[in-house]
Structure 1
Amino acid sequence: MSSLARGIAKNAAVVGGATLLSRILGFVRDLIIAFALGAGPVADAFFVAFRLPNLMRRLFGEGSLTMAFVPVYSRVREEHGAEASHVMARSMHIWLVLVLGVLTLVAMYFARPLTLAIAPGFAGEPRQLQLTVELVRICFPYTIFICGVALCMGILNSEGHFLMPALAPCVLNIVLISAALGAVWLKLSVPHMLAYGVLVAGVLQWAVQQPALHSVGLRWFGHWSLKNDGVRRTGRLMLPTVFGAAVYQINILLGTLLASLLPAGSISYLYYADRLVQFPLGVFGIAVSTAALPSLSRLAARKDMDGFKEALNASMRLTLFISIPAAAGLIGLAGPVVELLFQRGAFSSAAVDATSIALVGYAIGLPAFAMVRPLVSAFYALEDTKTPVIAATLSVVVYVIAGAGMMQYIGHLGLALATSLSSWLNAAFLVWRLRGRLGRWASYHRIVPVFLGLSIVIGCGAWGTVPLGKWAVVLIPVWAAVYAVGALLCRIPEATMLLDAVRRRVR
């Protein structure tokens, strides 16, 4: 395996480990908030208030800003040196504070109509509406800091630092856990403590990035310009990415709308199944794309297209090496996994069966979900943000048409399968368009039959243990080991690299 591939894999491992820790803490956070806040009007008020800055984060922060910023920053650094890239970073930071500061002030002033726009049902509950408005005014400034974190992430990733940005979500989870427990022990208002916790977490997430930024020589005090050319280029690239993020949110909305036309419980089955698929996807899918973008951006800036193709193929191989067996495992153990995690209280065995079916439908598309991320990173590295938006829009159209058709016959499973189908078409479209940009570039597919064959073996083996019920989940490490040994026997480079990494840790 080349040094490029090893570098991406190493950085992906760092991001994946931090993301895994964040997901575990996030699960604990949800449990603690449920304990402290319960489920009712007060909880609804907090979640609505928290949803607003979270929406801003998704639209303007970690997705669009980082993806648009990294390629331009890398190009400026390659062509004009470190100081020029730092001037661009400071200029971007000034623009970020100005734009989001004004937006935050407007949102705080119009908090009541903004709340009614996203939660019109609160209009008939004056006390709940007033509480939500108060929480919105406390939470919304979080937007400024979390988008600042996204900027720090772009800078650090471009400089080869991945750990601190990946750990930032852990800070949010720890602060919210502390705020919830502190409110209970001190007998304070839980929603207000959580809202202030959100704001404090934003400040801390930004603050913990500063030592790493100092280590790469960046200081926020220094030369900057509102007319910086790199900032203008980033702004032009951000417009399509913001639209692409909006398309994703529209897709979620349309999925909820279609599911609402099905029997009661369908929305919940799809929600729980999606959460299970998002766990492995969030760990390795985000990790590989996050690690790949800076490398791809540097290679594109140097016009080293052979290296670019090599890095992209390495990212795709690593993604499929993990995602294909993960999909096989989820398909084989869908029932036991759902039973172990959710079957308690009002979550009946019928709900387990319905959620398991949805999980199988989503798992079929897991490799495609994961493939799309490094493919999109490749387009962003080439400073082409329009093609991923076109692909996302087409996938939404396919999802609506296929989902509306299949749900007539197989209910909520049809919507899950439509999601997988649209994602596979999305990935295929991106691969095809990249061939137009790069010529013949894809070589990763040659090893896919080996990944697929090994995954079918462990998937069938896992499925054979289903009669054990939820205890079948205990055998997941065994199936992972079987896959790893099979990959080593087949001399798959990714497996050898993994074994070498384990040996280094042991030593």
Structure 2
Amino acid sequence: MTEPAASPAPTPTGRIARHASVVAAGTTASRILGFLRDMTIAFTLGAGIWADAFFVAFRLPNLLRRLFAEGSLTMAFIPVFSRTRQEKGLAEAFTLARSVLIWLVLILLVICALAIIWAEPLTKLIAPGFARDPEILAGTVTLVRICFPYILFISAVALCMGVLNSLGHFWAPAVAPCVLNIGLIISALLAMFMGWDVALAMAWGVCLSGLGQWMLQQPYLRRYGLSWRGPVVMNHPGAKRIGILMAPTVFGAAVYQVNILIGTLLASLLATGSISYLYYADRLVQLPLGIFAVALSTAALPSMSMLAAANDMTGFRHTLNTTLSMTLFICLPAAAGLAGMSFPIIDAVFGRGAFGEEAVRATAWALVGYSSGLPAFACVRPLISAFYAMEDTRSPVLVAAICLAVNVALSLILMQYMAHVGLAVAAALSSWANVLLLGIILRRKIGAWLDIGPQTFRMTLLSAGLGLSALAASTLGKTALLCIPILACLYALTALKWNIAEARMTRDLLFTLRQKYRR
């Protein structure tokens, strides 16, 4: 089998930016649909016991998805697939993909069967309060049994994502989450209008949406020549390597979940509402992270994996620097803007009904705390991708464990002086420690790689100016939000005037995309 015909290779900056724009577009669409999904669930189920039952049922496969599928499997698969393709050709890489799929199906079928059999004990474990009402417990157990096979489909989708991303295709994996949101919206509304059990219909919607996400990937895989009918090698050395690489990534994902749990536990020791203040502030910080930082790291991993497989460390270092520079170009002004305009943003988004003035003030300060770590939150992702590209999944996990201890220690100290804001600041500081430690370890592995030049200084200076302008505008109240596009345009225009490479790249990318869609 021959490789697909390739056009002249773009520069790393252009290639990563183009791919990241596709992932960002898909993520944005998914976030909008997710918001509509939450509105639909609130409309059809409200906040009653059956809404709680559905969320509990969906939490189990969703937790396994975070531990095993998205992130862990993809991060471990892409470097090995890229190396196999580089050394043995595309046909052997497809054999590896088919072999991994068989292992996934076999392992997850056993897990699904056990979960269905032991659904009642699992439900009691994560929602012990439901045991007080036999009817609610029985209904939730039924929902768990329907939802759980979703992990089988979404893990297969993660494998497809790894193949397509390695081959330079990002659109189908990026929009796959939209299928789940659409499926839940349709199932909830259809059940309500037909008089069916809404929670039960949504559980079936979860499972069928997983199948829909899998089906969405197949036409694009066929275009690259991958058929799931073909040679399979159960003891394929690449499959063994992926299994070895996945073990630390699963542990790392578990550390992340423990970090969230500890933060919630500590917040529960503070004044009532502290958990909610942190949750709502984090939702806003996750927006630029989900759209830009995740998109850039997702786009960069295949490129760095190919460079690592070819032992091109010069190109590898350049690509990593490019990705980090692009990340900072977006996340530095985003952090400054969120911090400077935190009060009017929180007031406009959440400040109504039971969410009073005190809640707005407390959440705004939490947003300031989280915003101080936004650039670090964003930079951690491409740095981890660099380690995964070199098939080193242990170092990021070790650093994550150390930073977990740092986060807990700082949280215990700062919460005594800054209450819930101290927890947000502790999370930010531990993320900066994460960046520092990863950077030091990476220097030992590949030599001097960090290139902080005058352009980074200019981006920082511009972002500080944007933050001060946002702070001044915040005195206007909610009207200050009208200044956001003005400040963004001023930032972009000044960056172009100062000849910042990332600004030129963004301009050229937008121009190229506009020309493409016009045609």
Whole-angstrom distance in 1 between the partners of 2:165 and 2:504:
26
**Deviations 1:15-71, CA, capped at 9 Å, x for gaps:** 011111111111111111111111121111000000001001000001100000000
- How far off its partner does 1:506 sit? 4.2
* C-alpha distance in structure 2 between counterparts of 1:445 and 1:437, whole Å: 22
CA displacement at 1:14 relative to structure 2: 0.8
Alignment pair present for 1:25 and 2:33: yes
Specify the code of the residue in structure 1 equivalent to 2:355. F
Q: Kindly state the Cα deviation for residue 457 of structure 1 after the two structures are TM-superposed.
A: 1.1
Q: Which residue of 1 aligns with 2:410?
A: 402
Q: Which residue number in structure 1 is paired with residue 239 of structure 2?
A: 231
Q: Distance in 1 between matches of 2:51 and 2:62?
A: 16
**Structure 1 position 445, deviation (Å):** 5.3
Aligned to 2:5: none
1:390 to partner: Cα distance = 0.7
Q: Distance in 2 between matches of 1:71 and 1:303?
A: 12
CA RMSD of aligned residues (A): 0.9
Shift of residue 175, structure 1, vs aligned partner: 0.8
Deviation, structure 1 residue 498: 1.5
Q: 1:79-138: CA deviations, max 9, x gaps? A: 000010000000000000000010000000000000111111111121211111000000
Alignment of 1:237-276 (within 5 A): 237-276=245-284
SS of the aligned residue for 1:61 comes to helix
- Give 3-state SS (helix, strand or coil) of 2:60's partner: helix
Question: Residue 334 of structure 1 contacts residue 360 of structure 1 at CA under 8 Å; is this kept in 2?
Answer: yes
Contact 1:66 1:154 in 2 (8 A): yes
Which of 464, 486, 491 is the equivalent residue of 1:456? 464
Q: Which amino acid aligns with 2:246?
A: M
Contact 1:91 1:228 (C-alpha < 8 Å) held by counterparts = yes
2:505 maps to a residue whose letter is: M
1:113 aligned residue (112, 115, 121) = 121
Aligned partners of 2:42 and 2:344: how far apart in 1?
24
User: Partner residue of 1:57?
Assistant: 65
- In 2: Cα distance, 1:193 partner to 1:338 partner: 34
Distance across 1 between alignment mates of 2:175 and 2:512: 23
Q: Distance in 2 between matches of 1:146 and 1:505?
A: 30
Aligned to 1:304: 312
Structure 2 equivalent of residue 151 of structure 1: 159
1:142-165 Cα offsets, whole Å, 9 max, x none, are 000001000000000000000000
Instruction: Give TM-score scaled by structure 2 length.
Output: 0.96
Letter in 2 for 1:329: G
Over residues 182-225 of structure 1, what are the superposed CA-to-partner deviations in whole Å (9 max), with x where a residue is unaligned? Answer: 11111111100110000010000000000010011100000002
Q: Cα distance 1:226–1:453, how it changes in 2: closer, same or farther (>3 A)?
A: same
3-state SS in 1 of match to 2:70: coil
Instruction: Compute the displacement of 1:501 (Å).
Output: 2.3
Show the counterpart of 2:324: 316
Give the TM-score of the pair, scaled to structure 1: 0.99
| Alpha-carbon distance change, 134 to 407 in structure 1, aligned in 2, over 3 angstroms | same
Q: Distance in 2 between matches of 1:348 and 1:455?
A: 31
Tell me which of 118, 125, 133 is aligned to 2:133. 125
Q: Structure 1 residue 502: deviation in Å?
A: 2.7
Pick from 6, 27, 30 the counterpart of residue 14 of structure 2: 6
Question: How many aligned positions are there?
Answer: 506
Q: 2:17–2:509: 8 Å Cα contact kept in structure 1?
A: no
CA contact (8 A) 2:383 2:439 kept: yes
* Residue 173 of structure 1 pairs with residue 181 of structure 2: yes
- Given that 2:45 and 2:198 are in contact with CA atoms closer than 8 Å, whether structure 1 keeps it comes out as yes
Residue 382 of structure 1 corresponds to which residue in structure 2?
Answer: 390
Aligned counterpart in structure 2 of residue 79 of structure 1, from 71, 78, 87:
87
Distance 2:36 2:440 in 1: 42
Query: In 2 relative to 1, CA 25–251 (structure 1 residues): closer, same or farther, beyond 3 Å?
Result: same
Shift of 1:447: 2.6
Structure-1 residue corresponding to 2:373: 365
User: 2:27·2:291 contact (CA, 8 Å) conserved in 1?
Assistant: yes
- Of 329, 338, 354, the residue aligned with 2:362 is 354
8 Å CA contact retained: 2:340, 2:471: yes
For structure 2, the 5+ residue unaligned runs are 1-9
Q: Distance in 1 between matches of 2:132 and 2:21?
A: 50
Q: CA deviation at 1:444?
A: 4.0
User: Is the 8 Å Cα contact of residues 314 and 444 (structure 1) preserved in structure 2?
Assistant: no
- Find the aligned partners of 1:150 and 1:505 in 2 and give their Cα distance: 27
How far does the alpha carbon of each residue in 1:389-433 deviate from its partner, in whole angstroms, 9 at most, with x for none? Answer: 011111110110000111011100000000000000001100111
Contact 1:72 / 1:233 at 8 angstroms: preserved in 2? yes
Distance 1:181 1:294 in 2: 39
Q: What's the counterpart of residue 137 of structure 1?
A: 145
- Measured in 2, the distance between the counterparts of 1:390 and 1:235 equals 18
User: Paired residue for 2:451?
Assistant: 443
Determine the structure 2 residue equivalent to 1:499: 507
Aligned to 1:342: 350
Residue type at the aligned position of 1:185 = F
Q: Write the distance in 2 (CA, Å) between the matches of 1:385 and 1:240.
A: 6
* Distance in 1 between residues matched to 2:267 and 2:510, nearest whole Å: 44
In structure 2, C-alpha distance between the alignment counterparts of 1:293 and 1:150, rounded to whole Å: 14
Identity within the alignment, % = 55
Q: Contact (CA 8 Å) 1:316, 1:444: kept in 2 or not?
A: no
